[in-house]
Amino acid sequence: MPILSPADQEYLRQVFAERLRDPVTIVLFTQRVTQIRIPGYECATCRETNQLLEEVAALSDKLTLEMHDLLQDAELAKQAGVEEIPAILLKGHNKGTVRFIGVPAGYEFATLIEDLIDVSRGTTELSPLSRETLTKLVQPVHIKVFVTPT
């Protein structure tokens, strides 16, 4: 049973066809559903996230899903600074790091779709003034935005 309805899939397929420009890799750190359950390591939303992203990635040739198991690929997760799963990293024309921690449901799903497009095009809708400021930052900034699905 797909998470995305046929109508949603068709809508997204069209949005991706019109607005994606260059390829984007969606890197997902998760828990493989085939894996033996280890007490204390059950990831409540990994199964849903895996399926949702597989469905999204299937809607465009420009999207590639790269799935890593947090325990099996622990070294890679460490390099990526991933401690919680599911964790999604977007790789395309982004200069900095764009991540989603937890299932991207509700309003976050819309944010994910918009970010996929921005990362694919390497452009955002920020004002020229904001963009200029951002190119002149001195120290690294780690911004965490805490949200709940609505």
| Positions that interact with other proteins (CB under 8 A) | 44-45, 81, 84, 93-105, 108, 111, 115, 118-119, 122-127, 129-131, 133-149
Least distance in angstroms from the C-beta of 142 to other proteins: 5
Strand partners, 90: 26, 98
Least distance in angstroms from the C-beta of 56 to other proteins: 16
Question: For residues 22 and 93, is the Cβ–Cβ distance under 8 A?
Answer: yes
Cis check: omega of the bond before 23, within 30 degrees of 0: no
- DSSP secondary structure string for all residues of 16-64: HHHH--S-EEEEEEE--TTSPP-TT---TTHHHHHHHHHHHHTT-TTEE
Distance CA 113, CA 56 (A): 9
Residue number with CB closer to other proteins (6 or 140):
140
Least distance in angstroms from the C-beta of 67 to other proteins: 19
Distance CA 134, CA 40 (A): 40
Residue number with CB closer to other proteins (44 or 71):
44
Residue number with CB closer to other proteins (13 or 131):
131
Residue number with CB closer to other proteins (57 or 85):
85
Residue number with CB closer to other proteins (7 or 137):
137
Least distance in angstroms from the C-beta of 6 to other proteins: 26
Question: 18 exposed, middle or buried (CB, 10 Å; 0-12, 13-18, 19+)?
Answer: exposed
Least distance in angstroms from the C-beta of 149 to other proteins: 6
